[in-house]
Structure 1
């Protein structure tokens, strides 16, 4: 009998889109991020995708000083792969965005593969009162922002981080980003196996539906052959359905409060671990095996948790 596929679950713990007003479960203090990351790993996440926050206001932070308090504690408590974001801001320079990864040298970090009109301004109309003064203007301001990821930016990030054997989670918001990645890989900036994260349902990017996923997967097959692995991140209400679909197509999955605050339609998730537990239960019931951290390291060709700087 054929072996059941091993499915990597990534958990994106806090992100830089949602704000504290939107959910009491969204972690933003060092302690909250630590506790939720560890609980997500215990629930079955083999990769933890991590952003930082200002612990006083909950605002997104790309300051390495806001990563340090939780990185070592997470590493001490779990064997999960740590993946540090190089997004985190729609307005900061690429050098500022990659500073945490440059300092801590994780096994993985994200790599956005193209510029886009990344906007979530529509969320502002859903709330009348705010926990913190910065939240409303931050959300509304995304309407006028371009998330810049030029070829020069991507090259600069790759040349800075690749010497530390950091594997990139290539975030693919649209089909053209696959061609951007192909050009950069052909130029020698990225090595197989390439790890694609199809980002679906973000305003400014490709919509989250099965037809689009099939097209993205077919295009990746054409461009990269057998030299890649892939996963799906779907925003909002379609998070779990698209993750399950990806798992049945041979891909991997990403959940977490960065991507959706809900556990089911209209019901806020109590934690990141709740989302991990739900998607794990479904994909195991459908016959897949959830990958361990060491499985993920083997599948993605990672350097190992003993080679990080935290």
Structure 2
């Protein structure tokens, strides 16, 4: 008798993360760009309702500049938790943006002890001498059950992280990663085909839990393509302000909704924070 069970990839949940502000844009770019704790908490609730299971948080100093200040992260997480409880994974960033050293990035994680954090490989381990400290941080994070996500900008970054894993720098057989389809430039427009560089000729990612972020009006198309090819997606004003039709989105939730709806229409299910934590626990 023919097996009518759904294919495994159709049953797998897809995680949608929201990156609502980033470290570069301001309200001059979009008046609904959330900056402070209360605005980020309001955004978190709206994006949760639209289908997100994670929020990727940047905080700003009094001058509106990207910063890695512990108290600002704590205030932001508290505001988000008061609004949505544990229904969203709160992921902080250690991204340097040219302002912070690898040691300062590591210190943030050890003092803040977040639930999850993203780290750009080029920034936190820019060369071989920094790999020892990076390995020590990852070992500590694994013991403390803090979920990492390593930001990779091209195939060279992918190959380097693979090599680090083979050499034992990564204290696990696998690690979550983020593939960035493009660069932070004013005219950047990502396309679904950009994913091929990261997946390689085998069309299969070298890491089992991978997420994509993209720039410009094709952000949604890139997200859906990634999801259908085995990945997850990060959306939001950090990288993109436009809906698929080229009009400016009213807010971050408006960028989540079309991707969530398209995936549901294609028979895919969305991860909740609870199910995404289980997925991350399985590899970390």
TM-score category (smaller protein): 0.7 to 0.9
Kindly indicate whether the alpha-carbon contact (under 8 Å) linking 1:51 and 1:88 is maintained by their aligned counterparts in 2: no
Point out the more displaced range, 256-265 or 153-162: 153-162
Aligned counterpart, 1:81: 89
Bigger CA drift: 210-219 or 11-20?
210-219
- The equivalent of 1:268 in structure 2 is 248
Verify: 1:194 aligned to 2:175, yes or no: yes
Given candidates 7, 10, 13, the residue that maps to 2:14 is: 7
Distance in 2 of aligned mates of 1:220 and 1:181 = 18
Task: List alignment gaps of at least 5 residues for structure 1.
Answer: 116-146, 305-310
**Deviation (angstroms), 1:99:** 3.5
Structure 1 residues 89-125: Cα deviation after superposition (integer angstroms, max 9, x where no partner): 223211223343222212321121236xxxxxxxxxx
1:66 to 51, 72, 85: 72
Question: Conserved in 2, the CA contact under 8 Å of 1:169 and 1:196?
Answer: yes
Segment drifting more, 61-70 vs 154-163:
154-163
Tell me if the contact between 1:12 and 1:48 (Cα under 8 Å) persists in the aligned partners. yes
1:16 equivalent among 20, 23, 31: 23
Q: Match for residue 180 of structure 1?
A: 160
Structure 1 pair 155–9 and aligned structure 2 pair: CA distance change class (3 A): farther
8 Å CA contact 1:34, 1:70 repeated in 2: yes
Structure 1: 4+ residue segments shifted above 6 A: 219-223
What are the residue-to-residue correspondences of 1:213-232 with 2, within 5 Å? 213-218=195-200, 224=206, 228-232=208-212
Query: Is the partner of 1:21 in helix, strand or coil?
Result: coil
Q: 1:6 to 1:233 in 2, by over 3 A?
A: same
Match of 1:35 in 2: 42
User: 2:236, 2:255 within 8 Å by CA — same for their partners in 1?
Assistant: yes
Deviations 1:207-249 (A, max 9, x none): 833333124213687784xx52111101122211100111111
Is the partner of 1:14 in helix, strand or coil? Answer: coil
The verdict on how the C-alpha distance between 1:233 and 1:223 changes in structure 2, with shifts beyond 3 A counting, is closer
Selected match of 2:127 from 134, 150, 157:
150
Q: Which runs of 5+ in 2 are unaligned?
A: none
Inter-CA distance 221–282: structure 2 relative to 1 (3 Å threshold): closer
Equivalent pair of 2:37/2:75 in contact (CA under 8 Å): yes
Q: Work out which of the residue numbers 158, 175, 190 in structure 2 matches 1:208.
A: 190
Equivalent residue for 1:114? 122
Question: What residue is the counterpart of 2:105 in the other structure?
Answer: 97
CA distance in 1, matches of 2:108, 2:45: 20
| Cα distance in 1 for residues equivalent to 2:283 and 2:212 | 23
Contact 1:15 1:257 in 2 (8 A): yes
The 10-residue stretch of structure 1 (106-115 or 212-221) with the greater mean CA deviation from structure 2: 212-221
1:159 aligned residue (124, 136, 143): 136
Contact 1:12 1:49 (C-alpha < 8 Å) held by counterparts: yes
Q: TM-score with structure 2 length normalisation?
A: 0.84
- 1:41/1:78 contact within 8 Å kept: no
Tell me which moved more, 151-160 or 100-109: 151-160
**Alpha-carbon distance between aligned partners in 2 of 1:303 and 1:217, rounded to the nearest angstrom:** 19
Aligned length: 269
Verify the 8 A CA contact 2:191 2:221 in the aligned structure 1: no
Question: Which of the numbers 232, 235, 239 marks the counterpart of 1:255?
Answer: 235
Note if 1:51 corresponds to 2:58.
Answer: yes
1:11 and 1:302 map into 2 onto residues whose CA distance is: 22
